[in-house]
Amino acid sequence: MKKITKQQYLKPNDAVSPPDPSGEVWTPPQPSKGERTFKLTSKGSVRGFVVLDGVRVNFESRAEYKACLVIRSRPDTLRVVEQSPRVEYVDADGKLRTHVFDLKVFRRDGSVVAVDVKPAAKVESSGIREMHSLIARQISPKIASQLLVFTERMYTRSDFYNAELMLGVARQHCAEDDEAILKLVARMTGPMKVADLVGKSGRKGYGFNAVVRAISAGRLVMTERRRIDYAAVVVPAPLH
């Protein structure tokens, strides 16, 4: 084992961007906004939570975890709340039932989508579409304007890779890096490779992270559905 001196050990790591000044060492996430709670320990499924937009979002399965990240990573999504909404409806036999959706998705256009996450192979046998059809005729548009059955066929491996990348990079916010990239975005007149954008920024790897955050925020748009990497091509998002 190679020994190092105390001076070498205490040398700042220039591969890690210093954090923005803050009055707090750590800001805990807000508690879950979900209408249904459950124990995170389970022998039969993967359970846990992820912090999205400063709020704790719990998940009961790997499929729900992926759905949370993929849906949140889409530019038209504002925020995601798990285990919501809870609705009452009358079933085909005239009985009053209660159903809690897996996700409540708030979109930037003001609409709300109630989502159930299901493996594609189980959608037909579960009867979830028939239940959604009944609920759709009874639910108030104030609660949800659209119902969706979300399966693994609705996203690619690249979509999930990008979603996890966006989540990780969001934790490394640096105002100077973001400002440098956004100044370049404002001057873009057409498509540009991520590598060229990062190079022009002079921020190296930090510039790449800032590009990812710009894509996540909807300031940049990928020209094709693929992984976000240096070879990817982006364009400025159209102004509304």
Among 217, 221, 223, 228, smallest CA distance to 158 is for 228
What pLDDT score was predicted for residue 171?
81
What are the residues facing 81 on neighbouring strands? 104
Q: Are 167 and 69 spatial neighbours (Cβ–Cβ below 8 Å)?
A: yes
Write down all domains in the chain, each with its CATH number in brackets.
48-154 (3.40.1350.10), 157-236 (1.10.10)
Query: Cα torsion at 209, 230, 107, 136 (round to 10°)?
Result: -130
Q: Are 71 and 103 spatial neighbours (Cβ–Cβ below 8 Å)?
A: yes
Considering just the CA atoms, what is the radius of gyration of the chain in Å? Answer: 21
Among 167, 151, 217, smallest CA distance to 50 is for 167
What pLDDT score was predicted for residue 17?
66
Q: State the residue for tokens 């060229």.
A: 196
Query: Cα torsion at 154, 190, 182, 15 (round to 10°)?
Result: 80
| 3-state helix/strand/coil string of the chain | CCCCCHHHHCCCCCCCCCCCCCCCCCCCCECCCCCCCCCCCCCCCCCEEEEECCEEEEECCHHHHHHHHHHHHCCCEEEEEECCCEEEEECCCCCEEEEECCEEEEECCCCEEEEEECCHHHHHHHCHHHHHHHHHCCCCCCCCCEEEEECHHHCCHHHHHHHHHHHHHHCCCCHHHHHHHHHHHHHCCCCEEHHHHHHHHCCHHHHHHHHHHHHHCCCEEECCCCCCCCCCEEEECCCC
What does DSSP say about strands 192-193 and 220-222: parallel, antiparallel, or unpaired? unpaired
What does DSSP say about strands 146-150 and 103-107: parallel, antiparallel, or unpaired? unpaired
What pLDDT score was predicted for residue 46?
83
144: exposed, middle or buried (Cβ count in 10 Å: 0-12, 13-18, 19+):
buried
What pLDDT score was predicted for residue 27?
78
What pLDDT score was predicted for residue 25?
63
Structure tokens at 38: 């459950």
What pLDDT score was predicted for residue 163?
98
pLDDT by residue for the chain (240 residues), tens only, comes to 567 787 777 776 665 666 555 555 667 899 999 999 888 777 667 889 999 999 999 999 999 999 999 999 998 999 999 999 999 999 999 999 999 999 999 999 999 999 999 999 999 999 999 999 999 999 999 999 999 999 999 999 999 999 999 999 988 878 999 999 999 999 999 999 999 999 999 998 899 999 999 999 999 999 999 999 999 999 999 875
What pLDDT score was predicted for residue 7?
78
What pLDDT score was predicted for residue 52?
94
